[in-house]
């Protein structure tokens, strides 16, 4: 039957073609290209959107749809009320029958899915297989991760810390804390364990950003209240992103004191822990590698050893050119000083070069570019012990920098057009460079010693 089109194909066949579209960009192109397909879409838009949404998001669509619908109702200004947990937002909202979406929901779905997909890529590289930048999770592992992440995003939407910016009320906060537990109590124990593992992963991602605000580890948990989307934006360096700073500057208590409740203290993790205690289930401690077993059925390379020193265990703490960006976790931590401490001898105290060291102390520092340049040095190429493809432990990376960082500094000076003077006999070990400006200006100290000091 061809009621809606002039093509030599029945409407049912055209409708089936829509079922094989994997994303909404393709859908848009198709309906803009052909009036026949546009007519079919107009007649069956709800079912087509639902089918493509499933192709796009996967089996976690019910959780994604629940998040999207909730955000849509908030944008519409609907009064969700205190009974939203017990009624409208019960776990029944994740049933197959509740996966329907409106055309206006598509953009929100795409935005949410993009965040979850990017975070899955990071989780895969950090916990599944460090060799790949994109996710290599199995379909089942991906489903577990995604449904937990969507539920965390929904939790943040339902219980935003910003609700207390203008009017902080102890009684209201206490009621909401109870609602935290009521919401989480809707899920199976296995699902809560998945949620716990994924939440701790987001906490790990929060830590470097919290460090820049002079925060500490528990603040990384509090920062969960910003939500996974804000975490990703901070990681990607979105301009004007004040991740965590606004909360720290507010009058909202970050932790409970003198029986004054906090809506963000151990955000999500504390109510989740209380639900598990009620069920007589013990959660694994943070740092226990088995936490990720609730998501992952197998892990690649967790027992690998360093290819330079053969130290074990290495596993996901090993690095090569595929994950040099993670070096900021090594050098830019709360007690880190960047890579400049790796300079040899007395170079760190050279009174002439102190300002130049800012280029290797500045944050954010481009570690992939820096390491690419380090392995491109002629002195490194001539040696047989270092290859960018080798998986190295943190100690060996620091040893590599210690042996070659002064050559990199010299190369930067040459590329900047600076005059390179005669080498000092004592090279980087020279003591005079630390107190004589005249000597520091007349000689190059980014070189090997030719005489003992």
pLDDT digits (tens, 9 = 90+) for 317-363: 899 998 998 888 788 765 556 788 888 999 989 988 877 776 666 66
Any domain includes 54: no
136 within domain boundaries: yes
Segment 254-268 shows an average pLDDT of 75
Q: Are residues 430 and 372 in the same domain?
A: yes
- Lowest mean pLDDT across 151-160, 349-358, 430-439: 349-358
Q: Following DSSP, what letter does each residue of 76-103 receive, concatenated?
A: TT----GGGTTTTTSGGGGSGGG----G
pLDDT at 45: 86
Please say if the pLDDT value at position 200 is more than 60.
Answer: yes
1-10, 134-143, 378-387 — most confident range: 134-143
What are 95's strand-pairing partners? none
148 and 210 assigned to the same domain? yes
Task: Give the list of residues 6+ apart from residue 83 with CB closer than 8 angstroms, or none.
Answer: none
Q: What are phi and psi of 206, to 5 degrees?
A: -70, -30
Spatial contact of 10 and 2, defined as CB atoms under 8 Å apart = yes
Are 212 and 350 members of one domain? no
Q: What is the pLDDT of residue 196?
A: 95
Separation of alpha carbons 422 and 11, rounded Å? 82
Strand blocks (E) in 229-317: none
How many folded domains does the chain comprise?
3
Residue 93, pLDDT score: 64
- Residue-by-residue DSSP string for 337-369: --SGGG--TTGGG-TTTTGGGGGGT-SS--HHH
Is residue 222 one of the residues assigned to a domain? yes
Choose one of 231, 263, 294: the last residue of a domain. Answer: 294
CB 131 within 8 A of CB 299: no
Supply the pTM of this predicted model: 0.83
d(CA 273, CA 450): 63
Residues 263 and 375 in one domain: no
When mean pLDDT is compared across 9-23, 223-237, 250-264, the lowest value belongs to 250-264
Kindly report the backbone phi and psi dihedral angles of residue 314, in degrees, each rounded to the nearest multiple of 5, phi listed first: -115, -65
**Gap between the Cα atoms of 51 and 342, Å rounded:** 55
Q: Are residues 392 and 258 in the same domain?
A: no
pLDDT at 78 over 70: no
Who has greater pLDDT, 211 or 195?
195
pLDDT at 213: 59
Residue 236: pLDDT band with limits 50, 70, 90: confident
Q: CB-based contacts of 87: which residues, under 8 Å, 6+ apart?
A: none
Q: Are residues 81 and 203 in the same domain?
A: yes
Among residues 103, 107, 94, the alpha carbon closest in space to that of 67 is found at 94
3 has pLDDT over 60: no
310 vs 281, residue with greater confidence: 281
**99 and 290 Cβ atoms separated by less than 8 Å:** no
| Residue at 301 is within a domain | no
Picking from 164, 389, 134, 152, the residue whose alpha carbon sits closest to that of residue 267 is 152
- How large a percentage of the chain has pLDDT more than 90? 43
Cα–Cα distance measured from residue 159 to residue 250, given in angstroms and rounded to the nearest whole number = 17
In a domain, 303, yes or no: no
Q: How many residues does the chain have?
A: 453
Q: Would you say 391 and 320 are in contact if contact means Cβ atoms under 8 Å apart?
A: yes
Q: Which domain holds residue 375?
A: 315-442
Q: Select from 169, 161, 57, 173 the least CA-distant residue to 109.
A: 57
Neighbouring C-beta atoms of residue 258, cutoff 10 Å: 5
Same-domain check for residues 7 and 90: no
Does some domain include residue 238?
yes
Domain presence at residue 49 = no
Among 328, 348, 332, residue whose Cα is nearest residue 340: 348
pLDDT at 98 exceeding the cut of 80: no
pLDDT surpassing 90 at residue 421: yes
Q: Which residues pair with 444 in a beta bridge?
A: 423
To the nearest whole number, what is the mean pLDDT of the chain? 84
- Band (211; pLDDT cuts 50, 70, 90): low
Q: How confident is the model at residue 378 (pLDDT cuts 50, 70, 90)?
A: very high
Average pLDDT on 23-36 reads 87
> Residue 290: is it exposed, middle or buried by C-beta count within 10 angstroms (0-12/13-18/19+)?
exposed
Q: How many CA atoms lie within 13 A of 56 on its CB side?
A: 25
Q: Is the dihedral of CA 12, 14, 17, 23 positive or negative?
A: negative
**Residue 87: its pLDDT value, please?**
45
Candidate from 119-123, 170-174, 264-268 with smallest mean pLDDT: 170-174
Residue 92 clears pLDDT 60, i.e. is over it? no
Helices (H) and strands (E) in the chain, counts: 18, 0
- CB 243 within 8 Å of CB 260: no
Residues 58-73: what's their mean pLDDT? 92
Query: Would residue 304 count as lying in a domain?
Result: no
Question: Which residues are paired to 423 by β-bridges?
Answer: 444
Are 35 and 14 in contact by the 8 Å Cβ rule? The answer is no
Over residues 126-148, the mean pLDDT reads: 95
Residue 170 pLDDT greater than 50, yes or no: yes
If asked whether residues 16 and 78 sit together in one domain, one would say no
Task: Tell me if 67 sits within 8 A of 152, measured CB to CB.
Answer: no
Q: What is the pLDDT of residue 335?
A: 55
Predicted confidence band at 146 (pLDDT cuts at 50, 70, 90)? very high
State whether 385 and 278 are in the same domain. no
Bridge partners of 281, per DSSP, are none
Q: Are residues 375 and 238 part of one domain?
A: no
Give, in degrees to the nearest 5, the angle at Cα 400 between 214 and 134.
65
Cα four-point dihedral sign 414, 418, 423, 428: negative
Same domain as 385, residue 276: no
Do 378 and 326 fall into the same domain? yes
């Amino acid at each position: 039957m061809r009621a809606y089109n002039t093509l030599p194909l029945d409407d049912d066949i055209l409708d089936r073609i829509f079922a094989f579209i994997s994303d909404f960009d393709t859908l848009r192109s198709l309906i803009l290209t052909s009036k026949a397909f546009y007519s079919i879409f107009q007649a069956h838009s709800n079912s087509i959107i639902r089918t493509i949404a499933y192709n796009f998001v996967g089996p976690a669509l019910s959780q994604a749809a629940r998040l999207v619908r909730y955000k849509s109702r908030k944008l519409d200004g609907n009064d969700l009320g205190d009974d939203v947990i017990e009624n409208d937002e019960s776990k029944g909202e994740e049933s197959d029958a509740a996966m329907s979406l409106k055309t206006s929901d598509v953009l929100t779905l795409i935005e949410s899915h993009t965040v979850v997909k990017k975070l899955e890529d990071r989780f895969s590289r950090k916990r599944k297989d460090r060799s790949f930048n994109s996710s290599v999770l199995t379909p089942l592992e991906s489903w577990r991760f995604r449904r937990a992440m969507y539920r965390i995003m929904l939790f943040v939407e339902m219980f935003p810390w910003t609700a207390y910016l203008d009017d902080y009320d102890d009684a209201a906060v206490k009621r909401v804390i109870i609602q935290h537990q009521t919401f989480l109590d809707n899920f199976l124990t296995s699902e809560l364990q998945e949620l716990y593992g994924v939440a701790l992963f987001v906490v790990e991602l929060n830590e470097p950003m919290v460090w820049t605000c002079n925060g500490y580890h528990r603040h990384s948990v509090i920062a969960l209240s910003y939500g996974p989307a804000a975490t990703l934006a901070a990681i990607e360096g979105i301009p004007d992103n004040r991740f965590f700073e606004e909360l720290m500057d507010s009058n909202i208590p970050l932790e409970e004191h003198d029986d004054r409740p906090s809506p963000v203290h151990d955000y999500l993790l504390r109510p989740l822990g209380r639900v598990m205690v009620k069920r007589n289930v013990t959660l694994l401690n943070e740092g226990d590698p088995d936490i990720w077993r609730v998501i992952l059925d197998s892990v690649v390379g967790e027992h690998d050893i360093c290819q330079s020193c053969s130290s074990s265990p290495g596993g996901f703490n090993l690095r090569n050119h595929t994950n040099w960006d993670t070096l900021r976790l090594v050098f830019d931590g709360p007690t880190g000083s960047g890579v400049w401490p790796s300079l040899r001898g007395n170079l760190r105290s050279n009174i002439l070069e102190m300002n130049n060291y800012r280029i290797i102390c500045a944050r954010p520092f481009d570690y992939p570019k820096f390491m690419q340049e380090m392995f491109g040095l002629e002195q490194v190429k001539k040696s047989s012990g270092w290859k960018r493809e080798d998986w190295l432990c943190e100690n060996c990376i620091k040893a590599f920098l210690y042996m070659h960082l002064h050559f990199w500094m010299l190369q930067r000076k040459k590329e900047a057009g600076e005059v390179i003077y005669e080498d000092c006999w004592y090279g980087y070990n020279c003591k005079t460079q630390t107190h004589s400006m005249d000597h520091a200006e007349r000689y190059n100290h980014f070189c090997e010693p030719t005489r003992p000091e």
